[in-house]
Chain A
């Protein structure tokens, strides 16, 4: 008992020291640092294309590396690869489980992956020999739902799951290479750094962790958002036992607690949360430097994407809009309104030309 008290005191004092160290590094206010930059002015993007074809809510989308193809996943059980310029569907892949929460496009363009409440990540080969798209691998070892997946290459993929772990898989053999455990809540989202050496995972325990893929360790932990635990988000796993009856009936509540993206130079991470704010965490200063919030916005952030130069952040919200923020001045410089339901996913193409938003109204819109 006495030992525990001592240990606890030690841990607390170390935490205080860390906070002090972080404060010590704050040697300038934001206003001074960005005072000389010209303002961006109003940013107006218009809907250029609308991709119609899904029959139910769209939960995730991801651009391919060539900037015209993108893949989207919807709860009607389909994964559709679109040619966004012509709005044609290149592939429409039927899924075994319609409760899909995430999808990803491999950088090579050969593979797409998806996963959700079936606890598995299914990898599909788009360039199969006979032209059919078939399941190449089913990566099953998670004990919780799959909340996000991202390819590192054609042979490696990282997944985050509701069982509080993230896993690096070897696609060829279908086995787990590394398990990154350490979160105390469901892992809701992950983002890979531009140089593929690190990734960040965010979870329902209010924290985000930066993992080194090579060293297989957590290098940094960030806390910071003050929102109450979203009742739905945290309780996802508690809902089934509460049923008292069948637990095969699992509803889909992919309400992302936090969504992440790396800033394009790889030194910072932008996170969005249910408390209606976005924050920029700098990895080198080990704290969050900028907050993007507005008193008129009261609903949570569902998804984020930075523009190519990092000057703009596009964030999708629960109130059916996308807000565009000036990264450096923390001001809102534009709004994209056009969806009839919550914006669930957003992505900027790799050449930075266009941004695609997917929504629960079953449409994807390309803005430019």
Chain B
């Protein structure tokens, strides 16, 4: 559908193109088509040049249709008899032509053309011969398609809907599907097989519900649906009007255009500005950090390295898990090593925290960790107890002269004290951060160098891998729990090792 540019319009008509908004005006001018998508006033009038390709876009056709249905100035409609049922609100082809000629002061040829377009695009559908999308200027009955099924509102027609429609048709009258429909049905069946239950279910439901309607309504709905699908999934070989370069807006732009007002843009600009101001780290540094992290944790990753003493999933021996429970008398070596990777690792492990606490007590700075733990409790605990917990913290840690006074800088202290008057879940965050960094920079590195930690590391268990009894002539494996990531070798040997997998 061509949208002519301003220059061409001026050339054609020698006058300016005007924007006008009218539905029932009688005065008519010929204007060329020009409707941008964001225009408050609508261009209504349609001009068709018979010798040039039509320049009607769906929006314009819709204007015409709406005008046609206007109760005062629109078309006179009557009831048509179709076989034995009476269909309300139908009109004849002849009536349509006459009305168009009268309203827009065009000649019969042009009226035929316009009405033909209306039929081909599905705004009006014939009742007698639904598959032939032409407008006969005689007594053959036509009806307006409901706006729900207009091409512009329901674009694009999804495969799912089409499948449901075909399924309905199939169920209703076995074998009524045309050849090309049968083919498409089986193609769809293959393609969206995983939702086929849904399709059949929907089809049945819709059929069931439609049985409860009056016959006239049912026929009308069926005709509407059929007309819609004739347009949107035409017979192969038939002219597909929808191929003609109408933009296919995806749902996103459709949604966005609805919201595009100045507020939307203002908030977008705001977020963009914020995003622009963000500090971005070089990609080389980021990639390096991933590499380091993976390397550091490689030994701890059972999929990469296997695990000792044995893989519980293979050997059914839960020793590994027993050794790594939350609280054990002696932790395993890997675990203690992990505490040195980062401060959070230490704090996240209950045993790590305990050991750290012992160390801090020696250094007389245990109140820092207690404070941190209490703050965590507030952040993640029940809302109802926040107030009392905040009170306690204040009493124990923040009041000058308190038993376990923590050393928070004055600015943070002021902020926190002000916040305590209206306690909420995050009121202690700043103070908690401050103490966290204090511990991280100061106590944590010293702990890692301390004798306490080193002794623990030395004492830590390195579990012996359980030796399976193997036949003497079988190759000895290096790990009883082969690492899946070692390629051939242990994996190969594993499969040869007998009934353990």
Contact = CB atoms under 8 A, between A and B. Distances in A.
Interface of A: 3-4, 7-8, 10-11, 14-15, 17-18, 21-22, 24-28, 30, 33-34, 37, 40-46, 48-49, 67-68, 85, 152-156, 170, 172-173, 184-185, 195-196, 205-206, 214, 218, 220-221, 228-229, 231-232, 234-235, 239, 242-246, 249, 251, 253, 263-265, 267-268, 282, 284-287, 289, 307-312, 327-328, 333-334, 342, 351-355, 360, 366, 368
B400 interface: no
A337 to B, nearest CB: 15
Given A14-B272, A285-B281, A311-B301, A251 B286 contact: no
A206 B344 CA distance: 33
A343 to B, nearest CB: 13
B484 A268 contact: no
B159 interface: yes
A311 B304 contact: yes
Contact of B276 (A21, A49, A327): A21
Contact of B265 (A8, A308, A310): A8
Given A245-B205, A309-B301, 14 more contacts: A14-B269, A14-B276, A25-B280, A27-B284, A28-B287, A33-B283, A33-B288, A44-B484, A46-B484, A195-B344, A246-B205, A307-B304, A310-B297, A352-B300
A5 to B, nearest CB: 10
Interface string B292-320: 01111110111110010001111010101
A352 B275 contact: no
Interface in B167-199: 194-195, 198
B158 A231 contact: yes
A249 to B, nearest CB: 5
Ranked 10 nearest A-B pairs via Cβ: A309-B297, A14-B272, A7-B265, A245-B209, A309-B301, A41-B487, A153-B380, A28-B284, A284-B281, A33-B287
B380 A243 contact: no
Given A27-B282, A40-B304, A249-B205, A214 B426 contact: yes
A34 B287 contact: yes
29 contacts: A8-B265, A24-B280, A27-B284, A33-B287, A37-B291, A85-B312, A85-B313, A85-B318, A152-B380, A155-B382, A156-B380, A172-B382, A172-B383, A173-B383, A221-B275, A229-B251, A234-B251, A245-B205, A249-B201, A249-B205, A251-B202, A268-B286, A282-B283, A282-B286, A308-B300, A309-B300, A309-B301, A309-B304, A368-B313
B501 interface: yes
B283 A170 contact: no
Contacts of B275: 18, 220-221, 286
Nearest to B301: A309
A162 to B, nearest CB: 14
A198 to B, nearest CB: 14
A244 B206 contact: yes
A28 B195 contact: no
Contact of B269 (A10, A309, A312, A334): A10
A227 to B, nearest CB: 11
A359 B154 CA distance: 34
A265 B341 CA distance: 11
A221 B271 contact: yes
Contact of A289 (B251, B287, B307): B287
A155 B262 contact: no
Contacts of A220: 275, 278
B132 interface: no
Interface in B381-396: 381-384
Given A156-B380, A234-B251, A311-B304, A25 B282 contact: yes
B209 A310 contact: no
B429 interface: yes
Contact of B278 (A214, A218, A265, A286): A286
B260 interface: yes
A14 B314 CA distance: 56
Interface of B: 158-161, 194-195, 198, 201-202, 205-206, 209-210, 221, 250-252, 255-256, 259-262, 265-266, 268-269, 271-273, 275-276, 278, 280-291, 293-298, 300-304, 307, 311-314, 316, 318, 320-321, 324, 344, 380-384, 426, 429, 484-488, 491, 501
Contacts of B160: 231-232, 235, 239
A308 B483 CA distance: 14
B484 to A, nearest CB: 5
B202 A249 contact: yes
B379 to A, nearest CB: 8
A10 B303 CA distance: 50
A220 B206 CA distance: 44
A235 B159 CA distance: 11
Contacts of A353: 302-303, 307, 311-313, 320
Contact of A265 (B158, B261, B289, B313): B289
Contacts of A8: 260, 265
A244 B484 CA distance: 54
A50 B145 CA distance: 55
A205 B484 contact: no
B303 A308 contact: yes
Given A231-B160, A234-B251, A352-B301, A309 B313 contact: no
A251 B204 CA distance: 13
A232 B302 CA distance: 38
Nearest to B225: A244
A267 B300 contact: no
Nearest to B197: A251
A351 B304 contact: no
Contacts of A368: 302-303, 311, 313-314, 484
B252 A309 contact: no
B298 A311 contact: yes
A231 B293 contact: no
Contact of B286 (A173, A196, A289): A289
Given A7-B269, A245-B209, A309-B297, A34 B194 contact: no
Contacts of A46: 484, 501
B294 A328 contact: yes
Contact of B381 (A67, A155, A239): A155
B436 to A, nearest CB: 11
